[in-house]
Amino acid sequence: MADEMKIGAYICKGCGIGDRLNADQLASTATRDGKAAICQQHDFLCNEDGVKMIQADIDNEGVNRVVIAACSRRAKTEAFAFENVTLHRANLREGVIWVRPDSDDQQETTQEMADDYIRMACAEAKYSKIPESSGQQGVNKNILIVGGGVGGMTAALEASKAGYPCSIVEKTATLGGATAQLHKVIPTKAPFADPQENPVAALVAAVEADDNITVYLNSRTTNISGAPGRFAADISTESGATQTKEFGAIVQASGFTPYDANKLPEFAYGKNKDVVTQAELEALAIAANGGAIKRPSDGKEVSSVVFVQCAGQRSKKEGHLEHCSGYCCSASIKQAMYFKDQNPDVETTIMYTDLRTPGAGGENFYRSGQKKGVIFTKSVVSEVVDGANPTVKFKDLILNEEAEVEADLVVLATGMVPNSGQPTRAELTIAENEDAASAKAGEEVEIRVDVESILNLDYRQGKDVPHMANGFADSHFICFPYETQRTGIYTAGPTRRPMDAKQAMDDAMGAAMRAIGEAENAGLGRAAHPRSGDLSFPSFRKEGCTQCKRCTVECPFGAINEDEQGYPVYNESRCRRCGTCMGACPVRVISFENYSVDTVGQQLKAVDMPDEFSEKPRILILACENDAYPALDMAAQNKLEYSAFARIIPIRCLGSISLSWITDSMNSGFDGIILMGCPSGDNYQCHFVKGSGTAQERMGKVGDTLQSLSLEQERVQTYEISITDIHKVPQIINDMATTIEQIGMSPFKF
């Protein structure tokens, strides 16, 4: 900004801060070391008078950098929501007085801890700027729904109710998806005793009657470009006619495909017509129209039926599905009731290893099946022998003996394969695509896969959203459901994880809400989850850029492309503001207005560094703001003590760490460094998906750097922290303090 920087520091004495700390000394530190132009104290800074005091200085004194020395940055965010200023928090409550004992012999180190946090907050303020508009904003309330099953229709109806026009693109000639092929559905209402009527007809009627919803049948999205707020989608029909429409956000509800039972020759599928899948039994039930279900081979009324659970799933065998498909057990109970409700004398046996009936009424539905005479046998089916009547061979897990039984009909619960499209370049293995797997960083190659793309994204990383294990669209079910690595594109239903029709409809409601939120955020230039509301976006110093493409390759969200000269081009509304690009840059030319190499680097340099003989080490903790920093706060709330020598700096993501922070902190005299990020790997909790894992790879090089400086590798340690690790984080800090006591102070103290 052109305006002169003016720091205002405000020290709260409430919540016991004034009783434990010398507020006058803190004020002196803010003005003398922090160069605050204005410093005021208040008994309760977050109350109406305190907030008015700060606002008055903003309005009348020209304060445009506000330093709040009080509670954690995670507390009182609504009270301290000032406009047109940068806001910085010195955590004196959770970060100092709640983690230090209230005793006279600890007073000195506790005060030093607080003084350092004042210096650090003021240093951050000096190097922060107020984010300015990128000029890329534009509100577009249209929501694109890819998939016209129960999930897609529900998402469209919910968004329409909220006033957002929707377009459903369905590849087939009718709406309804897999659920439309069901005779009845698993019950969703009490008493959860009987199968319910199929809801598809009512949903289709509601969609067709809604003027806010446009439906494209026999159509596909053949190209999607742009970003949240300005997606451009080519919608093409079977005849090849194409029209381009613009959307603010996208929901992918493309459903699933039943697992191919032809891969199960041991179950006589394809050899015996009376061995069918659950989907094929639904067709037989629809044909029966409430009458007796007849088997395919000779039209005989079925008098005995065996349901084989987990057929080709929950298995490590090559070609099988590793996952549980979630709905199959309940579906088999429902289908057994088709027979029992028509004729109680039909023998129905469900063979299972683990019976799983998720949902509010799952247990009631299972009990209802028992009451109707459905037999449940805990067993493992090894083979179905072809014959006039198929014979099921199995091991009874209760009696621990081999057995067999004949049946008129055998039904295989084969599970679901998600319709999630093509894998990204990073996910391809050599076996799948040698060219892509061996490509150099930044090199463009054509993906050669048999799977058909769903979205056909115009992203350099690939045509569809990235996948998790087992092919489901990437989305962490706890931390950020519906989110994908493609900002503004949300997944719902079996595309995202295994689920039944009711769960898919509930899931679609959540995805629609997220899509609406992102369409609005994009229009205002604000970041998406988890930094919702952040107006900053990355920029780079062109004259220093080496065109190495590391930022482009390491960005988890496809937010960076290159221009004709190979320089990065940032897409503001795709960006999640994680800073991974900043951490990847070897020449440190990437930054955000309110988060940069300097905003963190100057904080660690602002720490008052005692000399070697004071016996007061300094430990730097760079803590992820999403999991590690909240865990530290909650540890403080539980009054769990940790070393007074720790100095904590919250960072956006472990992936944003610049290696210069490590070298600068060591050169500044820090004795130890702890990096705290979210768990990575298949069950990751990193809110920025790959940040924590990427940082782990980078930190592998730190050991060599330390060794070249004749420093012990124990001085830099990286930990994966869940938000619930409230007892673990203080222990990690205290363990580092013990380690430093054993190996000695850093020789760089001088």
pLDDT confidence band for 628 (50 / 70 / 90)? very high
Q: What is the pLDDT of residues 99-123, one digit of tens each?
A: 999 999 999 999 999 999 999 999 9
Looking at domain 258-417, its CATH class is: alpha beta
On whether the 143-255+446-524 domain is CATH 1.10.1740.10, my answer is no
- The pLDDT of residue 694 is 84
The model's pTM is 0.88
- For the cut 50, the answer to whether the pLDDT of residue 2 exceeds it is no
Q: What is the pLDDT of residues 372-381, one digit of tens each?
A: 999 999 999 9
Quote the mean pLDDT of the chain: 91
CATH: 3.40.50, 3.30.70, 1.10.3470, 2.30.30. Which one for 1-130?
A: 3.40.50
Q: What is the mean pLDDT of residues 636-647?
A: 97
Domains of the chain by residue range: 1-130, 143-255+446-524, 258-417, 595-750
Residue 325's nearest CA partner among 357, 282, 351, 280 is: 357
* Residue 110 structure tokens: 């506790």
- The pLDDT of residue 424 is 78
Q: What is the mean pLDDT of residues 330-351?
A: 96
| Cα–Cα distances in angstroms (integers) from residue 157 to residues 83, 174, 209, 561, in the given order | 36, 17, 10, 35
Match 């992102």 to its residue by tokens: 518
Are 261 and 414 spatial neighbours (Cβ–Cβ below 8 Å)?
yes
| Cα–Cα distances in angstroms (integers) from residue 347 to residues 232, 293, 339, 407, 596, in the given order | 55, 13, 8, 9, 69
- For the cut 60, the answer to whether the pLDDT of residue 439 exceeds it is no
Q: What is the mean pLDDT of residues 495-502?
A: 92
- For the cut 60, the answer to whether the pLDDT of residue 448 exceeds it is no
Other Cβ atoms less than 10 A from the Cβ of 107: the count is 15
Q: What is the pLDDT of residues 277-321, one digit of tens each?
A: 999 999 999 999 989 999 999 999 999 999 999 999 999 998 899
- For the cut 70, the answer to whether the pLDDT of residue 201 exceeds it is yes
Q: What is the mean pLDDT of residues 244-270?
A: 95
Q: What is the mean pLDDT of residues 268-278?
A: 95
* Residue 59 structure tokens: 């309005």
**Per-residue DSSP letter, 94:** I
Are 717 and 646 spatial neighbours (Cβ–Cβ below 8 Å)?
no
* Residue 9 structure tokens: 């520091």
* Residue 199 structure tokens: 């809801």
Other Cβ atoms less than 10 A from the Cβ of 660: the count is 16
Q: What is the pLDDT of residues 535-557, one digit of tens each?
A: 888 989 999 999 998 999 889 88
Q: What is the CATH number of domain 595-750?
A: 3.40.50
Do 258-417 and 595-750 agree at the fold level?
no
